[in-house]
Chains A and B, each alone.
Chain A
């Protein structure tokens, strides 16, 4: 409970600053989709709710349910899954909701305004398209779709529908990322020179299930349903490059293989991909799931500093030493006359590589944007106003993740066809 309170405080504090003078204007220019997170946006929807149906409440869907239950803007009215254990687990969290076993049922339900789609990747396109046809607002988990053609068509469909369309790229709402990108875009750290992403785990990525549900539950491992590491992990991280640079990659190349988990899976367990932007800057994505030493990392490398996005830390190329003189100033300000302990051998700027960096956001902030993006979706569903740019960011994240996977499969350097540019 204490932790929840702390997170809520942190979240309120951060979102509060968006509504204050100074940061608000800058933040909303760089992150226009945050319009739905301002105190003004909250006041506009006070007392109103969007009625939600959850389609596919597996682990991710159940996380959304627990968070939606905390939001005054949301009311979960329907749950739908073809896998009975997941449906019952969701019903236990959210009793009283209507239970459906075919996705068309909540789409036909007039009590449902909005749907949250958390089904395996290969079904995103079909269900989301049907949802727009039924007049629903759509929150679809990432990646947007299985193919680039599907992404493009669904993007067009969503826009033409006039309904709200979000894809679960929660980093767009993560306070750590927003603050970091604000610093990067200020130019304080000089030009961006590289973007480095990696995600290392040591596990088979399997979920326990009865044999007959193997492909249903472990859909991430099979090509028919998933593009593995590229759509499940890279999709989040490669967004960093386009977000930071304000442009899209020109080409992508890479190598993928299955080196350790040779258990019948069809997706790679080891990938290394390089995206190159029109200005020559490279962005890498690496993932191996048989060694977790490096964990997850996302870095924006600038000429004057490096931002560690996941840990919310900033490392200056030439960090200032801890200054005894600065401390002395503070003491004089407080009318204190005492010794200043700083004399020693020369501080040498080049030793800065051992610098431990500085924290960008308050320690202990655990929000990753999942709550915020869902709340923004609910508010948008109530007002009927789609936040600017959010769909475009998500579209390109998905498209370039898919293009990266195609580069691995075809063992070629690929570029995105102009017809898919929006």
Chain B
């Protein structure tokens, strides 16, 4: 854990703050908890969980299950978590008009890029040129896993931040009715209460990791997009898809997702 702070400075709001590096970014947690040791244990549990996810789901780690799948010839059996995410990803590909696509980095445009076999939790790629990358879903999924842990631990007021781009407000701010998160560049304020926020766009150096699955090229234009809604996972998928999609296709995508909203920021 890179940072851990337990603060009793405000008796009305005893807080835990912790931060750790994972998934090529920095995760931060802020939650109400009076007991320091308990707070530390919860923070450690969350860090272990996210590190475990990264080890299993990162295509950059040679030992991960996803890397094994990307190397495999033919059908391969995968773990439950990876299988679940692969099935989910395919459903979201369909629901986003193809703009959310975990095979977007592949050298082939074969779609579906893989087949899943429910009875055995096995997967087969359409060709060996298919490269699967969960980068557009991983942080959102990790944030949802963190929500589950907080719920199990009885934490009902928390803010979870994965690299500033995926944020989840659990319950309310200890001094208010909601967590109020503002865009770093100013302007838009997002009011989070048991809801999430995801931002996609160009990074601080003007680069983006998002590829348009239709042409395989990095998306390099347009203002950043923020999506809010109940699930951090869905928010991340939608912000990725909407950023890759042409403006005229966005409403069609959003029609498939009730109670989620998007807005252009930093334009």
Contacts and interface: CB of A to CB of B under 8 A. Distances in A.
B69 to A, nearest CB: 24
Given A323-B28, A344-B164, A346-B164, A329 B181 contact: no
Contact of A346 (B7, B163, B173, B189): B163
A353 to B, nearest CB: 10
A318 interface: yes
A13 to B, nearest CB: 26
Interface string B224-262: 101000000000000000000000000000000000000
B26 interface: yes
Nearest to A328: B30
A335 B10 contact: yes
B266 A349 contact: no
A335 B197 CA distance: 25
Interface string B21-43: 10011101010000000000000
Contacts of A328: 30, 159
Interface of A: 318, 320-321, 323-326, 328-329, 332-351
B199 A333 contact: no
Nearest to B174: A332
A253 to B, nearest CB: 39
B46 to A, nearest CB: 14
B109 to A, nearest CB: 26
B154 interface: no
B19 A346 contact: no
Nearest to B208: A345
A349 B24 contact: yes
B13 interface: yes
Nearest to A321: B26
Contacts of A334: 9-10
B224 A335 contact: no
A346 B203 contact: yes
A348 B203 contact: yes
Which of B165, B174, B226 gathers most chain A CB within 10 Å?
B165
A332 B13 CA distance: 7
Which 5 A-B pairs rank lowest in CB-CB distance, beginning with the nearest?
A341-B182, A337-B175, A333-B9, A344-B184, A346-B165
A347 B180 contact: no
B5 to A, nearest CB: 7
A256 to B, nearest CB: 41
A322 to B, nearest CB: 10
A341 B25 contact: no
Given A323-B28, A325-B19, A346-B163, 8 more contacts: A329-B30, A332-B173, A341-B181, A342-B161, A343-B165, A343-B182, A345-B203, A347-B204
Contacts of B7: 329, 332-333
Contacts of B189: 339
A315 B224 CA distance: 30
Contact of B180 (A320, A340, A348): A340
Given A347-B26, A348-B203, A339 B173 contact: no
Contacts of B26: 320-321, 347, 349
A343 B197 contact: yes
A333 B30 CA distance: 12
A348 B25 CA distance: 5
